[in-house]
Amino acid sequence: MEKRVEKFNFISWFRNMWVTHPLFSTFCALVLMIILQTVALGFDQGSFSRWFSIWSRNWINILRNNATIGIISLGMTFVIITGGIDLAVGSTLVAIGAIVMVFIDSSATGLLSAIGITGAPAFIIGIIMGLIAGLILGEFTGILITIGKLPPFIATLGMMKICRSVTQQCMQTVNPQVPRSFTQIANLSIGGQMFMPIIYWLLIAFIMYWISKHTAFGRHVFAVGSNERASRLSGINTERVKRAVYAIMGLLVGCAAVLQVSRIGAMDYANAGSGYEMDAIAAVIVGGTSMAGGRGSISGTILGVLIIAVMNNLLNLIGVPPFLREAFKGFIVIAAVLLQKKEKA
Amino acid sequence: MDLEMKNIFKSFGANLVLDDVSFSLSGGQIKALLGENGAGKSTLMNILGGVLGADGGKILIDGSEVSFSSPKESLDMKIAFIHQELNLINDLPIYENLFIGREIRKKSGFLDHEKMISETRRVFDEMALSLDPEVMVRDLDASYKQIVEISRAMLMDARIVIMDEPTTSLTENEIERVFALMRHLKSMGVGIIFISHKLNEVMEICDSYAVLRDGHMIREGKINETDTRTLASLMVGHEVVEGLRAESHDNGKIIMEAEHLTDSKHFKDISFNIREGEIVGFTGLLGDGRSELFQSIFGASLPYSGSLRIDGNEERIHSTQQAVRLGIGYVPRNRKENGIVKDLDILSNGSLVTLSMRKKGLFLDEAAIESDFANAKEKLSIKMGEDSDPITSLSGGNQQKVVLAKWLSAKPRILILDNPTQGVDVGAKEEIYQIITSLAESGVAIAVLSSESKEIIRVCSRCYVMYHGRILKELRGDELNEKTIMQYATGVVE
């Protein structure tokens, strides 16, 4: 057998990747930013191991701080692939957070401590109640959209207003305390590093990836987003797919809420989670998911979350004033979509 | 005005789409441009319409060379391209559609509605049309929409009009209306290029023809020196062999039986039956309610009253997934909107129905899905590249076969085919008929919905003719001919 060895031509390979893979340019942007960020962090530490420990600590911080948005973005990816949108995630996060806190509170005001349940059993019940609350809120949104035939924008805009406002009113007189041990869920230190949020995020990302690629439901999500009519005429229960997508979104917001409460140990009902919906949507869009539905990927979304996170870190390191950072976020979203657009000439 | 396209070359990547193609048209002539899907018709016309640039060759108008790089420049040379998907805005009146992008303004900068309306009237008078310019486009039927598009070309004083399959969605009466207008334009010296798959129409309206096959100009000639059979074989490259129609199955078991089905507005008092292994046609004109009837039966539309029995069991189908469970398959009309999912690849499109049935625990049984599709692919002889190629890379006929493939894997016992050969070229059409026939031979009960009486006669052993939501007549045997069908479809005979 004759084997033709073609000389590997980096430039033509690069050009080909750039044109054929819409996410390749995004990936290049991430690599470039990581290089810049590494440079900004500085090399002049004398010893490699010291430099590496600072570098990795910085990375763990980046990932840990973005785990909440990361988890929400995973659910948002499914929602946007079906052609929908969820503006309510920041508010439902607060509502679910409040519910979890009421259950886990070990002081006299706590719901469970009043009947003598505290510690781990209370935590488990609290977390389960939080996740169920997320599912119910998501399912309700899904019902508004499918049975109520509301546009997702309207339905979730309404939910966004309702959830935060009701939570703020209800929590005016109640002031639940988060027990110190509960904060271990997110802040457990392994070898001096707090990995836990990253592990939760990666675990959920892996599950969502598998669902999107290897289950009938995952493929139905894409089909419904691309052509709902054709999907329905193929015997797919399109309404159930859409309801499930919002329910999953709710469940993931539940996970994010538990993580947030545990990581911070408190919750500011007026401001916590505000802007999360836009951050998540931005990450999903930067990750190459089409707002028109039908196209997108979980891996792209992870790339999107990372790119925004690394950029924030970089801006921080080089001392860009905080007010300007949002502008860079806006710039990234626009640039990413412009770069990905080239497939349609 | 005389047009000549000389030695046109065009390739997309390594794919040579037009190879030394020449084409000419003189004023006052209607010329058919024929060819199978993928023969290069659209590419050639897109070059003439300024949508694409040619790689080589030239375009001459009245003997002098011209070049254009955008539809606007082509239009400036008085060439108008009327695309298959009409470019009209439903929520604007006719005259505003005619002037869109070139609105007439008063000195103040505001729109001069009076002037636009009177200009529109002038054009309509020239074209011998009695249309009110202020009617909303939404309220026009398909033929008048087509006519509005043509008027827009006339308003811009077009001397060459390209019409891409203008009659696909029109009923017989509407086609006659468009043809009358085309004849009128011809008498005004306008040259028309008519792209169509319907050879009978070509024979009726055109003076000359040009046949493209695989990017080559095969033949140009006069219509009165040829016939449909010759044209068809020129397009396909070989004789089109028509298979035999399925035999009638009067003693097969009745699989689907409907009695007095009625919904709120589309159909009334419908009773019919379909037997095992039988192909039954449902025909009529546009708006006869047959599509709505079967959409309801498939659980995709409004509820109805009356009784529907599948295998003798009374069934009430509320959802499409229930219909699938009962063994009903449904290939809808309008493939682009209802049939294919454009963002998914070929394999996913071809396995959409069976995805939820092919599971290994929680996950998809990908091997089973692939082998299902490979079987269907072979059975239907789908011409395609990789499973992971986009569905839109296929020709219309092959896309339709993929839509069929997704149902074949579900092994339906009843198959509803609505306009199964819409936008499919001659060769693939015959292939689809043979597939339908062989499915029936394997015992599937098939309903074919079509307004082409030829198609009904070709594949069905009997047919129901519908008119305004009712079944007027069941035809079988010798009654199954174009004339009789048309008499009932137009409601001439009650």
SS3 of chain A: the string is CCCCCCCCCHHHHHHHHHHHCCCHHHHHHHHHHHHHHHHHHCCCCCCHHHHHHHHHHHHHHHHHHCHHHHHHHHHHHHHHHCCCCCCCHHHHHHHHHHHHHHHHCCCCCCCCHHHCCCHHHHHHHHHHHHHHHHHHHHHHHHHHHHCCCCCHHHHHHHHHHHHHHHHHHHCCCCCCCCCHHHHHHHHCCECCECCHHHHHHHHHHHHHHHHHHHCHHHHHHHHHHHCHHHHHCCCCCHHHHHHHHHHHHHHHHHHHHHHHHHHHCCCCCCCCCCCHHHHHHHHHHHCCCCCCCCCCCHHHHHHHHHHHHHHHHHHHHCCCCHHHHHHHHHHHHHHHHHHHHHHCC
pLDDT of residue A63: 93
For A317-345, the pLDDT digits (tens) are: 888 898 888 898 898 889 888 877 655 43
Q: What is the pLDDT of residue A342?
A: 55
Are B364 and A216 in contact (CB < 8 Å)? yes
Helix A196-214 to helix A238-264 angle (10° resolution) is 170
User: Which residue, chain included where needed, has tokens 């019902």?
Assistant: A143
Section A76-83 average pLDDT: 96
To the nearest whole Å, the CA of A39 is away from the closest chain B CA by 40
The answer to whether B83 and B57 are in contact (CB under 8 A) is no
Q: DSSP for B195-255, please give it.
A: E-S-HHHHHHH-SEEEEEETTEEEEEEEGGG--HHHHHHHHHSS-----PPPPP-TTSPEE
Phi, psi of A316 (to 5 degrees): -65, -45
The domain made up of B254-489 has a fold known as Rossmann fold (3.40.50)
pLDDT at A262: 93
- Strands B191-195 and B160-164: what pairing? parallel
Query: pLDDT value at position B109?
Result: 84
- Cα radius of gyration rounded to whole Å, chain B: 24
Measuring CA to CA, which residue among B492, B404, B401, B490 is closest to residue B451? B490
CB pairs under 8 A between A and B: 79
**Cβ within 8 Å, pair A223-B352:** yes
**Do the domains spanning B3-236 and B254-489 agree at the CATH topology level?**
yes
Q: What is the pLDDT of residues A261-287, one digit of tens each?
A: 999 988 999 999 888 999 999 999 999
Question: Within chain B, which residues score under 70 in pLDDT?
Answer: 14, 37-38, 238-250, 492-494
Q: A2 pLDDT exceeds 70?
A: no
Q: Do B340 and A295 touch (CB under 8 A)?
A: no
Chain A residues inside the 8 Å CB shell of B326: none
> Which of B323, B330, B363 faces A214 most closely, judged by CB atoms?
B363
CB contact under 8 A, B319 and A237: yes
The whole-number pLDDT of residue B250 equals 66
pLDDT at position A1, please?
46
Per residue in A119-146, pLDDT tens? 888 899 999 999 999 999 999 999 999 9
According to DSSP, the residues that pair with B81 across neighbouring strands are B162
CB contact under 8 A, B363 and A234: no
Q: Which of A291, A97, A60 is nearest to A193 (CA)?
A: A60
Candidates A232, A236, A294; nearest CB to B343: A294
Closest of B294, B235, B293, B231 to residue B264, by C-alpha: B293
Give how far A282 is from chain B: nearest CA, Å.
Answer: 22
> Could you tell me the residue ranges of all domains in chain B?
3-236, 254-489
Positive or negative torsion for Cα B454, B456, B462, B465: negative
Strand pairing class (B160-164; B79-82): parallel
Task: Tell me what pLDDT residue B244 has.
Answer: 61
The answer to whether the Cβ–Cβ distance between A237 and B321 falls below 8 Å is: yes
B157, with CB counted inside 10 A (0-12, 13-18, 19+), is exposed
Residues from chain A that touch B400, judged by Cβ atoms under 8 A, are: none
In eight-state DSSP terms, residue B340 is: -
Cβ neighbourhood burial of B483 (10 Å; 0-12, 13-18, 19+): exposed
A227 and B340 within 8 Å at the Cβ level: the answer is yes
Alpha carbons within 13 angstroms on the beta-carbon side of residue A173 total 1
pTM of the model: 0.79
Report the distance separating Cα B233 and Cα B240, nearest Å.
6
Q: What is the CA radius of gyration of chain A?
A: 22
- The pLDDT value recorded for residue B249 is 61
User: Among candidates B477, B483, B338, which has minimal Cα distance to B420?
Assistant: B338
Q: How close A339 comes to chain B (CA, Å)? A: 20
List residues bridging with B466 in a β-sheet. B471
Nearest residue on chain B to A233, judged by CA atoms? Answer: B320
Nearest residue of B to residue A240, measured between CA atoms: B321
For B107, phi and psi rounded to 5 degrees? Answer: -60, -30
Give the pLDDT score at A3.
53
CB contact under 8 A, B356 and A214: no
Determine the topology of domain A65-343 in CATH: ABC transporter involved in vitamin B12 uptake, BtuC (1.10.3470)
Average pLDDT, chain A: 89
Q: Chain A interface, mutation test: which of B330, B342, B344, B417, most A Cβ atoms within 10 Å?
A: B344
The residues with which B254 forms a beta bridge, in sequence order, are B275
Which residues of chain B lie closer than 8 angstroms to A296, CB-CB?
A: none
- The distance of A214 to chain B (nearest Cα, Å) reads 5
Interface mutation vs chain A, best among B319, B331, B341, most A CBs within 10 Å: B341
User: CB-CB: which of B332, B343, B406 is closest to A226?
Assistant: B343
Chain B residue set in contact with A, beta carbons under 8 Å? 298, 300, 319-321, 323-324, 330, 332, 337-344, 348, 352-353, 355-356, 358-359, 362-364, 366, 406, 410
Contact predicate B8/B204, CB 8 Å: no
List phi, psi (to 5°) of B256.
-125, 130
Look at residue B242 in the predicted model and tell me its pLDDT: 63
Q: Which CATH number fits domain B3-236: 3.40.1530.20, 3.40.630.40, 3.40.710.10, 3.40.50.300?
A: 3.40.50.300
Question: Phi and psi dihedrals of B83, rounded to 5?
Answer: -75, 160
Instruction: Note every long-range contact of B264-269, with CB atoms under 8 Å and residues 24 or more positions apart, other chains counting.
Output: B264/B302, B265/B469, B266/B292, B266/B293, B266/B296, B266/B302, B266/B469, B267/B292, B267/B293, B267/B296, B267/B304, B267/B466, B267/B469, B267/B470, B268/B469, B268/B470, B269/B306, B269/B470
Partner residue opposite B352 with nearest CB, options A214, A234, A237 = A234
ipTM, 2 dp: 0.80
Cα A50 to Cα A53, A55, A59, A62, B5: the distances in Å are 5, 9, 14, 19, 73
Contact B320 A232 (CB under 8 A): yes
Cβ pair A230:B355 closer than 8 A: no
Nearest by CB to A219, from B323, B340, B355: name it.
B355
- Candidate from A14-23, A25-34, A257-266, B220-229 with smallest mean pLDDT: A14-23
Of A220, A232, A294, the CB nearest to B300: A232
Contact B320 A219 (CB under 8 A): no
* Closest-CA distance of chain B to residue A22, Å: 14
**For A294, nearest residue in chain B (alpha carbons):** B343
